[in-house]
A and B are shown apart, each in its own frame.
Chain A
Amino acid sequence: MADKEATVYIVDLGEPMADCHNGRDESDLDFGMRYVWDKISTTVAASRKTWTVGVVGLNTEETDNAQDREGLEGYEHISVLQDIGPMSMSALRDLRSSIQTSHTYGGDAISAIVVALSMIEVFTKKLKYNRKIILVTNGESPIDDESSEDVANRLNESNIELVVIGVDFDDADYGFKEEDKSKSKAKNETILRKLVEQCNNGVFGTMEEAVKELAVPRIKPVRPFKAYDGVLALGDPSKYESALSIHVERYFKTKRAMAPPASTVVVNPDRGGPSQTQTLDEDTEMGGAEFSGVKHMRTYRVNDPDAPGGKRDVDFEDLAKGYQYGRTVVPFSESDFSVTKLETKKSFTILGFIPFSSYNPFINMGETGIIVAQKHNEEAELGLSALIHALHELESYAVARYVQKDDAQPQILLLKPNPAVEDDFECLYDVPLPFAEDVRSYQFPPLDKVLTVTGSIIKEHRLLPSDDLKEAMSDFVDAMDLSGFDVDDEGKPVEYAPIDELYNPTIHRMNQAIRARAVDPDAPIGPPAEILLRFSNPPQKVLDKAKSEIAALIDAAEIKKVPAKAQGRRGRKEPVKPLSGLDIDALLGESKRTTISLDNAVPEFKQILATASDDATIESAAKQMGEIVRKLIRDSFADLFYARAAENLRVMREELISLEVPALYNKFLTGLKKSILSGELDGDRREMWFKHVIGGHLSLITQDESEVSEVTADEAKAFAA
């Protein structure tokens, strides 16, 4: 939320924090800092001026705090490492260097809390803030608990939350207990636990739990956004007395969250010459001024036959705005510009009602809204409630036309009643529906029968499931049911993968990696957290349960993978025939084609290859096709024939790959490149080469595409460069 925050972290830097405990190979400090860095970097990521952070070091060599300066006792070895303020990357870097274990102890944790407390009090005054102190310690240095009650009272008065997270502190709820705990640590734990208990708002926990929870993605809370505040009408209140209007508010219920966008940057030019650019790939130091953003500048060109290259630049000031109607451009003056926008008035009106049974969710076009009555408006509350209940009882939805604000595009929304049967929330949900233009009529053959050419219906066919297969599928689907995956404390079934457990893997993978890199620029990126890939495979428990059903289904399905080779060569064995089955090749008979004409190159080339019986024929066809390509390029006025030449090349490439003679193509293309780049095809034909050949993926055939090719991927890359 956008509330202001003031958080002070107290980090124990005493000598014992440098030790490793309980089988960990990192020091207590590093272990604890995992939690702290994660929290602080989350704050940095938010880039909010009102989210402020302070850091206090406990058990530091030096002493640097206001209380000590005032001459108060018991505040030694406590240093303010960072005053409360917004957190930036440079502050984060400074902090990294000051978080080091010392060789002292003798700092008092409760005194440190007082230091943090006064920092917050001074900083936040009486303003509205979320105040918080987080203490991270392993509790090895002695604590004086004399004043703990006073401290707790002051924390409560100032409305500060106290979070104590101890390395290897016992936590019965979480189920952690450190054996062979030192007596002093046990005593300190008790003191801190008591302190937290005295606070109105306190948390006491063990570090292991805290660190484990870091992997659980945190979802950025967003303040509800009110999209609409106005009337939901049935009928036209301005024309008909009977018309009904209910004052409602509409909020977003779902809104797609996006992964952090990447920015386009360059290495700052004023930071040295090309040598630095070279080393940058290795040099991942997060220098403050190392990168800078890239701006985009647009230039505009128009066709001009008299200009060199057929195009010339024009000034942006000389351009009018317009729209395209087919290939005609229609310019608009600034004043006319809005006429193409439909004038609409903010409104929300019901078109009519449909039964539940006539709607399917897959026609939804987007995000969901939520509609409630205007607050403190009794008529609206009762009116909307009656509509919700009536819809629910009749199992009906309302269809409405929605205009969010004046001159916005109208949408059609489906309104679904939620009469608060399962939750305590009575409302309408809405989803956008498609318009006529949004539906493309694609035709597909039916799935439960096969129609023959003569129009008769076949119910048994290799494309249709047998009764065995249907039964095996049915058993399989039922066995793999997720609705009763687990049971909760009350013995009720709990479904697997409910929506509140589905974290967007892309967003959290990115965020975790960015935070980790910000804290430690030199560390390699780790694997994605397990929780993010949790739903990428069926749960083992279900697979085990459904083992026999799966085996039965595999048996009944009789799936056969088509070998990779056959996919490419398919259709080559049998000549293609029209519906009547007429053999066109036989029809051609004696007049079989052997030469390729410019006008009909593609069909003739394909037909010659389809019936070619020796290599010489193939070679001759390829040669003729090559000549046609060169001719098209040579004769092309500007880029007129480029697309056609490219299409001929494409067909040539495809056919020669499937005939396994890639060398013919590669040889031709090497020659073509030379001809184009040397300008021997009547002028500058580089556009043909770069845009159509390279850009159109028509470069050399590599070994990846055809086993018999002698060109490696690297060679092809060099060739295309």
Chain B
Amino acid sequence: MAWGGDEDRRPEADEGEEELDEADYKTQKDAVLFAIDVSTSMLQQPPATDKKKSDKDSALAAALKCAYQFMQQRIIAQPKDMMGILLFNTEKSRFRDEAGGRSGSGYPHCYLFTDLDVPAAEDVKSLKALVEEGEDPDEVLVPAKDPASMANVLFCANQVFTTNAANFGSRRLFIITDNDNPHGKDKTAKSSAAVRAKDLYDLGVVIELFPVSHSGRTFDVSKFYDDIIYRDPAAEAGSSDDVKTSKSGDGLTLLNSLISNINSKQTPKRAYFSNLHFELAPNLTISVKGYMPLHRQQPARTCYVWLGGEQAQLAQSETIKVDSATRTVDKSEVKKAYKFGGEYIYFKPEEAASLKNLGGKVLRVIGFKPRSLLPMWASVKKSIFIYPSEEHFVGSTRVFSALWQKLLASDKVAIAWFVARENANPVMVAIMPSRASEDDTSDTPYLPAGLWLYPLPFADDVRNVDLSAPPRPADELTDKMREIVQNLQLPKAMYNPLKYPNPSLQWHYKILQAMALDEDVPETLDDSTVPKYKQIDKRVGGYLADWKELLVEKAQGLMKSRAVKREAEDEDDGRPLAKRPKPAAKKVAGGQMSNAQLKAAFEQDTLKKMTVAELKDVLASKGVSAVGRKAELVEKLEQWIEENV
């Protein structure tokens, strides 16, 4: 992935056709509708205690807070995806203010608080008011005397999805409730709910249940919800989409427990590719699906806004292609050609296609290596996660599992040729295993267990860094540094990305949210990527001071010994050179001049006697731009010496 400052150094392709990446994969949009139970028990305040980590929220408040957080995260991470909130068992009813005024009547005790859509600032605002300030001017959060029929709740959700997210690839209904048996022994009500649930299944809506258990009651899914919930048809065989009950305890508030359960379903599992043939050996093929659990999240791009109307409006852009005479060009006239020596080299479409084709879509093992053989610098881009699928080859999962276990046990990687899609560019990957997150020895508890396709750099990607950095032996300084390193371990002795939100991204959306909601713009950001300076000083301040003292002493020693050595060298072959009227700077080729020599030349004002080539060499070696006339180069070098030597 390109990074901030590096990005502009990449050659711009006229049209980015090479990389089949995120864009393709995002066409599958996601819509989530929260259905939150507003019953008396959901509204019940937890018993007051003095304990710091005890619950302060009712189950309902916790659910709404979750939804609020979900909405904010969604705006940042999935700006094209939809979300809505449906409250049920409310005294009031509201569906949509549709023409014909049949509002509410269809779905008694269902209140569509936020209609399913990409959230707008107003949606965030009204949800925030309800959650944070407890403002409920319409008295929405009043439980109904007679509970809603679940069949109605489900059909209401059905309608919301059918109309607002008709062709979304992923549609999910999140039900948050503490009632495991809404219809008791009423068989008819139960049956009609089951029928409506089947409708949702056939519509392609997945129901995710988030049961809440409080006041010591357990939630028994078999009483009612087992008739409502289906296995995700696309789920892997052997999957156990187990329903996790949220409750307080174990140092976790109900809110945190619910947030963690909902977060685990935050992003729908979108496959980056499916049915990829994974050839372990000739005549041994299994099939796998690919996912991208790691992806660099960037702030959204800027857009253009038209302010001429009553409301600020997004201006949609359209591109037209024009030729050198600004004549509009038809799509059929456009051809692809390659710039070469100031002209265009053209290939016919079928030729261009054959050039791109270096073999079909496949993941093919060419052998195995110990992991230690991978150079530690061999990294170019993020890895892709693969998981077996039984759809095309029965037995894929067990073979995959055997390979996974073997790679873990022997600390080996597979080397493979990988083409993600037809016509995608081939890459070489190392296939690495990750441990299960519940495995205590896992170094990546935030990632699933499976295999990773780790892209290897091509020879073309490796920069030849021609620097001299001769090894030096370990010494006292090393010993002292060891103490510092030992005393500054990160928490739990690991880097857990979940503890480090991206400060640029957080800031961007904080400001945006404040502007969109007309709030005060925050002044500072709580940036967890900034080191804990105070702690560092406290823990290793003493060691650091000692170390620095020793460093100064050693460096002076080294400087002296170098000076002596240089003098000796100068004397060895110095005589004839010294007689020459050439400036001191000439003795050594520019790039190898030491700072001391440069300074001497600077003080004697002999820098301008260097040639342009020499000046350029020196400047380049100092990382200063070596562009310009001689006088400018001399000036640049003088400036550098003044600042750095």
Q: Contact check, B379 vs A367: say whether CB atoms are below 8 A apart.
A: yes
- Complexed CA–CA distance, A474 and B412 (Å): 11
A578 and B329 contact, Cβ closer than 8 Å, known pairs A44-B341, A437-B501: no
In-complex Cβ contact of B463 among A224, A294, A474 (8 A): A224
Q: Contact check, A409 vs B504: say whether CB atoms are below 8 A apart.
A: yes
Answer yes or no: B548 CB below 8 A from chain A CBs.
yes
Answer yes or no: B380 CB below 8 A from chain A CBs.
yes
Q: Contact check, A401 vs B529: say whether CB atoms are below 8 A apart.
A: yes
Interface string of A303-332 (1 = CB under 8 A from B): 110000001001010111111111111111
Answer yes or no: A71 CB below 8 A from chain B CBs.
no
Which residue, B203, B238, B319, B335, has most C-beta atoms of chain A within 10 A? B238
Q: Contact check, A253 vs B195: say whether CB atoms are below 8 A apart.
A: no
* CB nearest neighbor in B for A349: B531
Q: Contact check, B18 vs A258: say whether CB atoms are below 8 A apart.
A: yes
Q: Contact check, B459 vs A376: say whether CB atoms are below 8 A apart.
A: no
Q: Contact check, B399 vs A358: say whether CB atoms are below 8 A apart.
A: no
Q: Contact check, A477 vs B284: say whether CB atoms are below 8 A apart.
A: no
In-complex Cβ contact of A445 among B240, B462, B511 (8 A): B240
Q: Contact check, B351 vs A525: say whether CB atoms are below 8 A apart.
A: yes
Q: Contact check, B467 vs A240: say whether CB atoms are below 8 A apart.
A: no
The range of chain A's interface size is 35 or more
Answer yes or no: B237 CB below 8 A from chain A CBs.
yes
B321 proximity list for chain A (CB < 8 A): 264, 294-297
Q: Contact check, A92 vs B341: say whether CB atoms are below 8 A apart.
A: yes
Answer yes or no: A259 CB below 8 A from chain B CBs.
yes
Q: Contact check, B396 vs A559: say whether CB atoms are below 8 A apart.
A: yes
Q: Contact check, B76 vs A342: say whether CB atoms are below 8 A apart.
A: no
- Complexed CA–CA distance, A482 and B374 (Å): 12
Q: Contact check, A322 vs B302: say whether CB atoms are below 8 A apart.
A: yes
Shortest A429–chain B CB gap in Å is 5
A226 proximity list for chain B (CB < 8 A): 623
- Complexed CA–CA distance, A584 and B434 (Å): 41
Q: Contact check, A301 vs B315: say whether CB atoms are below 8 A apart.
A: yes
In-complex Cβ contact of A366 among B1, B191, B364, B594 (8 A): B1
Q: Contact check, A500 vs B462: say whether CB atoms are below 8 A apart.
A: yes
Q: Contact check, B14 vs A243: say whether CB atoms are below 8 A apart.
A: no
In-complex Cβ contact of B284 among A217, A299, A432, A553 (8 A): A553
Answer yes or no: B633 CB below 8 A from chain A CBs.
no
- Complexed CA–CA distance, A502 and B426 (Å): 11
Answer yes or no: A242 CB below 8 A from chain B CBs.
yes
A243 proximity list for chain B (CB < 8 A): 533, 536-537, 544
Interface string of B593-632 (1 = CB under 8 A from A): 0111000000000000000010000001111000000000
Shortest A99–chain B CB gap in Å is 17
- Complexed CA–CA distance, A361 and B387 (Å): 18
Answer yes or no: B23 CB below 8 A from chain A CBs.
no
A571 proximity list for chain B (CB < 8 A): 233
Answer yes or no: B481 CB below 8 A from chain A CBs.
yes
Interface string of A418-449 (1 = CB under 8 A from B): 11100011110101111111111111111110
Q: Contact check, A441 vs B263: say whether CB atoms are below 8 A apart.
A: yes
Q: Contact check, A401 vs B337: say whether CB atoms are below 8 A apart.
A: no
Answer yes or no: A85 CB below 8 A from chain B CBs.
no
* CB nearest neighbor in A for B124: A326
Answer yes or no: B53 CB below 8 A from chain A CBs.
no
Answer yes or no: B175 CB below 8 A from chain A CBs.
no
In-complex Cβ contact of A240 among B163, B355, B537 (8 A): B537
A366 and B515 contact, Cβ closer than 8 Å, known pairs A326-B120, A442-B293, A525-B355: no
Answer yes or no: B516 CB below 8 A from chain A CBs.
yes
Interface string of A535-546 (1 = CB under 8 A from B): 111110011001
* CB nearest neighbor in B for A233: B531
Q: Contact check, A405 vs B5: say whether CB atoms are below 8 A apart.
A: yes
- Complexed CA–CA distance, A297 and B324 (Å): 12
Answer yes or no: A252 CB below 8 A from chain B CBs.
yes
Answer yes or no: A451 CB below 8 A from chain B CBs.
yes
The range of chain B's interface size is 35 or more
Q: Contact check, A265 vs B342: say whether CB atoms are below 8 A apart.
A: no
- Complexed CA–CA distance, A405 and B501 (Å): 20
Q: Contact check, A528 vs B358: say whether CB atoms are below 8 A apart.
A: yes
In-complex Cβ contact of B497 among A354, A438, A580 (8 A): A438
Answer yes or no: B166 CB below 8 A from chain A CBs.
yes
Q: Contact check, B366 vs A538: say whether CB atoms are below 8 A apart.
A: yes
- Complexed CA–CA distance, A360 and B119 (Å): 37
Q: Contact check, B337 vs A319: say whether CB atoms are below 8 A apart.
A: no
In-complex Cβ contact of A580 among B226, B325, B397 (8 A): B226
In-complex Cβ contact of A438 among B295, B460, B469, B516 (8 A): B295
Q: Contact check, A386 vs B477: say whether CB atoms are below 8 A apart.
A: yes
B17 proximity list for chain A (CB < 8 A): 262
Q: Contact check, A381 vs B495: say whether CB atoms are below 8 A apart.
A: no
- Complexed CA–CA distance, A550 and B285 (Å): 12
Q: Contact check, B489 vs A353: say whether CB atoms are below 8 A apart.
A: yes
Q: Contact check, B398 vs A463: say whether CB atoms are below 8 A apart.
A: yes
Answer yes or no: A73 CB below 8 A from chain B CBs.
no
Interface segment among B90-98, B128-136, B140-148, B264-272: the answer is B264-272
In-complex Cβ contact of A539 among B340, B366, B401, B495 (8 A): B366
Q: Contact check, B294 vs A434: say whether CB atoms are below 8 A apart.
A: yes
Q: Contact check, B484 vs A559: say whether CB atoms are below 8 A apart.
A: no
Q: Contact check, B369 vs A481: say whether CB atoms are below 8 A apart.
A: yes
B284 proximity list for chain A (CB < 8 A): 550, 553-554, 557, 559
A47 proximity list for chain B (CB < 8 A): 339, 341-342
Answer yes or no: B306 CB below 8 A from chain A CBs.
yes
Q: Contact check, A495 vs B369: say whether CB atoms are below 8 A apart.
A: yes
Which residues of B29-48 have CB atoms within 8 Å of chain A's CB atoms?
none
Q: Contact check, B313 vs A236: say whether CB atoms are below 8 A apart.
A: no
B203 proximity list for chain A (CB < 8 A): 602-603
A20 proximity list for chain B (CB < 8 A): none
Answer yes or no: A469 CB below 8 A from chain B CBs.
yes
Interface segment among A60-68, A74-82, A142-150, A560-568: the answer is A560-568
Q: Contact check, B237 vs A366: say whether CB atoms are below 8 A apart.
A: no
In-complex Cβ contact of A439 among B119, B293, B317, B472 (8 A): B293
Shortest B392–chain A CB gap in Å is 5
Q: Contact check, B428 vs A435: say whether CB atoms are below 8 A apart.
A: no
A501 and B485 contact, Cβ closer than 8 Å, known pairs A261-B12, A322-B305: no
A505 and B402 contact, Cβ closer than 8 Å, known pairs A366-B381, A434-B294, A480-B368: no
- Complexed CA–CA distance, A298 and B328 (Å): 12
Which residues of A135-182 have CB atoms within 8 Å of chain B's CB atoms?
none
B181 proximity list for chain A (CB < 8 A): none
Q: Contact check, B322 vs A294: say whether CB atoms are below 8 A apart.
A: yes
Interface segment among B60-68, B251-259, B443-451, B572-580: the answer is B443-451
Answer yes or no: A394 CB below 8 A from chain B CBs.
yes
Q: Contact check, B530 vs A330: say whether CB atoms are below 8 A apart.
A: no
Q: Contact check, A559 vs B286: say whether CB atoms are below 8 A apart.
A: yes
Interface segment among A281-289, A700-708, A712-720: the answer is A281-289
Q: Contact check, B316 vs A300: say whether CB atoms are below 8 A apart.
A: yes
- Complexed CA–CA distance, A381 and B468 (Å): 11
Which residue, B77, B222, B346, has most C-beta atoms of chain A within 10 A? B346
A429 proximity list for chain B (CB < 8 A): 376-377
Which residue, B6, B195, B312, B340, has most C-beta atoms of chain A within 10 A? B340
In-complex Cβ contact of A504 among B204, B458, B474 (8 A): B458
Shortest A257–chain B CB gap in Å is 4
Interface string of B506-523 (1 = CB under 8 A from A): 011101110110000100
Which residues of A377-419 have CB atoms within 8 Å of chain B's CB atoms?
377-379, 381-383, 385-387, 389-391, 393-394, 396, 398-399, 401, 404-405, 408-412, 414, 416, 418-419
- Complexed CA–CA distance, A655 and B305 (Å): 43
A550 proximity list for chain B (CB < 8 A): 281-284
6 A-B pairs with least C-beta separation: A420-B471, A261-B13, A580-B226, A386-B477, A44-B341, A390-B481
* New contact pairs (9) apart from A416-B376, A588-B195, CB-CB < 8 Å: A219-B460, A264-B336, A330-B312, A382-B555, A420-B471, A435-B529, A443-B448, A535-B415, A584-B194
A-B contact pairs, 18 of them (CB 8 A): A256-B461, A257-B460, A299-B320, A328-B121, A349-B531, A351-B529, A382-B558, A396-B485, A418-B376, A434-B497, A465-B398, A470-B405, A485-B367, A499-B459, A504-B458, A507-B460, A536-B417, A579-B229
